[in-house]
Amino acid sequence: MKNRSAVLLSGEGNTIPAAEAKALFLTYDPASEFEQLGSRVLLATSSADPFKIGGRIAFARRVGCVLENQSDGEALLKGRRIRFRAYSCDLREVRADPEEYLKGIEATVDLESPEYELALIRCSQDLLAVSSPGTMRQRWSTRRPRSRPFFHPSAIFPKLSRALVNLSRCKEGESFLDPFAGTGSLPIEAYLVGARVAAVDLSEEMTRGALRNMTHFGQSWAGVVRADSTRLPFARADAVATDIPYGRASSTRGRTTSEILELLLASLAEIMGPSSHAVIMHPQPVGVEPNADFALVEEHHLHVHKLLTRTISVLRRR
């Protein structure tokens, strides 16, 4: 059964938040449909569970099911601990009378630790949505690169790592591969969303460091393998996401970024099944070209500083 869900996107000012939200809904319901209500509100018509998506998403403030009528809210929130919030499209809280929207709902108001939040989202059309703020607390700061046992300046922050995993459309229980794992940023986030994770890196220092970081979070792993990612030692991967090595902080073993990309795609073509997705982050000047094995679904650009813009290319195995 399809329902409407509202996503209050975070305000990074790029295309990643909306793309991540859409990818998650499409992961669980490929027939999901979307409507953008302003720059920061996405409306999805989908059978996907918005609470599950809320527990995975990185670049969103709230994900909730839209209440179509008063009786829906009364049934869902009866006997629960709840709070009321009102938001505008620019993510500011706005004034609204809670009693007007909580009328008829038999629930306990709890501002500190509610089970559910009833949110009024004011945009091109007003939406009333129920979210679970507790499941959206991801404790990002505990997984920052400098909070891990092994640190390297090339490490990606956890929110971006999670977004890359989500863009790969990896479901719980599926196999996820990071062929340039570095310090383990993406594998850590993939494990937390329930994937079976394998990590690869050519550097012995990185392989050992990634294993230390993974073990630090008390997780079990399919493997941390020291290997050449242009000749992957795996039979299959359901989803792939990676940040290919470039720049002074990473070793490219004498290969250009373009050569690495070309060899990586040839290797991935051997282990990925039809319609599976690979997400590759790389410097913007080096493009990812679609070929007979992979279609380019979308690209997103992330400005780092005046000398570096990263591109996130999402590819689908043909």
CATH number of the domain where residue 240 is located:
3.40.50.150
From 136, 156, 185, the end of a domain falls on: 136
Q: Do 169 and 294 sit in the same domain of this protein?
A: yes
The DSSP code sequence of 33-76 is: EEEE-STTEEEEEESS-HHHHHHH-SSEEEEEEEP-SHHHHHHH
Q: Do 71 and 154 sit in the same domain of this protein?
A: no
Quick one: DSSP state of residue 206?
Answer: H
Beta bridge partners of 45: 4, 33
> By C-alpha distance, which of 78, 75, 28, 63 is closest to 136?
63
Q: What is the pLDDT along the chain (318 residues), one digit of tens a residue?
A: 899 999 999 988 789 999 999 999 999 999 999 999 988 999 999 999 999 999 999 999 999 999 998 888 899 999 999 999 999 887 666 788 888 888 889 999 999 999 999 999 988 888 999 999 999 999 999 999 999 999 999 899 999 999 999 999 999 999 999 999 999 999 999 999 999 999 999 999 999 999 999 999 887 776 789 999 888 989 999 999 999 987 544 556 678 889 999 999 999 999 999 999 999 999 998 989 899 999 999 999 998 888 889 999 999 999
- How many independent structural domains does the chain possess? 2
pLDDT value for 280: 98
From 86, 118, 136, the end of a domain falls on: 136
> By C-alpha distance, which of 22, 20, 60 is closest to 44?
22
Q: 22-66, pLDDT tens digit by residue?
A: 999 999 999 999 999 988 999 999 999 999 999 999 999 999 999
**What whole-number distance in Å separates Cα of residue 52 and Cα of residue 117?**
15
**What whole-number distance in Å separates Cα of residue 169 and Cα of residue 182?**
21
**What whole-number distance in Å separates Cα of residue 242 and Cα of residue 187?**
9
Q: 88-135, pLDDT tens digit by residue?
A: 887 666 788 888 888 889 999 999 999 999 999 988 888 999 999 999
Residue 163's φ and ψ, nearest 5 degrees, are -60, -40
Q: Do 17 and 121 sit in the same domain of this protein?
A: yes
> CB 269: neighbour CB atoms within 10 A?
15
Tokens (6 digits) for 242: 């990676």
pLDDT value for 249: 47
The DSSP code sequence of 257-282 is: HHHHHHHHHHHHHTTEEEEEEEEEEE
pTM for this predicted structure: 0.94
Q: Do 110 and 63 sit in the same domain of this protein?
A: yes
3-state secondary structure of 88: strand
Q: Do 173 and 224 sit in the same domain of this protein?
A: yes
Specify whether the CB–CB gap between 171 and 192 falls below 8 A: no
Domain encompassing residue 186: 140-317
The CATH number given to whatever domain includes residue 47 is 3.30.2130.30
